Structure 1
């Protein structure tokens, strides 16, 4: 039960920070016992890496949609419209997989907090 910093992002996600202090259970010098406890919680003013990736993909999708709308209003570039529609489908699949990864990570964190323990 060694102590680590706890970093919490604005999106609600978190991660372990730097090691801070040894616990009483550790008898080897320079080693940690393997269990992590929160020393302090620091609020980070930005989003986690996965949420940043989602935001980037959403912005790219919006740019492609605006480009398609402009081209369709002009009545030009049908091949480019098709290519942009394919790239939008790819972006939507990537966004969907990132959201699934975020949900899986948060569900796994919930299971670590004791919801999956069996005391029988």
Structure 2
């Protein structure tokens, strides 16, 4: 039961920080017993890395949707529209994966 700092973001994402204090179960200097307890929690004001990536990808998807809408009104860009719609689908899959990773990490105990 050694003590570590704990970083927490507003979205619930967290990570272990620096080692702070050794417990009485471990007698070797510089070693930890493997059990982690929170020494201090530091609330981070900005968004986490995952949320930032998700926001960027969602912005790209929104831009692509507006481009497709404009191209459909113009006409004569069927190949470009198909390619962009495929990219939109791929980005939506990536966004879903990032959200999944985010939720797993948010509710995990031992990362």
Query: TM (normalized to structure 1)?
Result: 0.82
Q: CA RMSD in A?
A: 1.5
Matched, 1:24 2:24: yes
Structure having greater relative contact order (Cα 8 Å, sep ≥ 6): 2
Cα deviation for residue 26 of structure 1 reads 1.5
CA distance in structure 1 between the aligned counterparts of 2:37 and 2:70, rounded to whole angstroms: 54
CA contact (8 A) 2:6 2:17 kept: yes
Runs of 5+ consecutive residues of structure 1 not aligned to the other structure: 113-120
Cα deviation for residue 91 of structure 1 reads 0.7
Which residue number in structure 2 is paired with residue 12 of structure 1?
Answer: 12
CA distance in structure 1 between the aligned counterparts of 2:18 and 2:98, rounded to whole angstroms: 26
- The structure 1 segments of at least 4 consecutive aligned residues displaced by more than 6 Å after TM superposition are none
Which residue number in structure 2 is paired with residue 73 of structure 1?
Answer: 73
Matches within 5 A, 1:40-55: 40-55=40-55
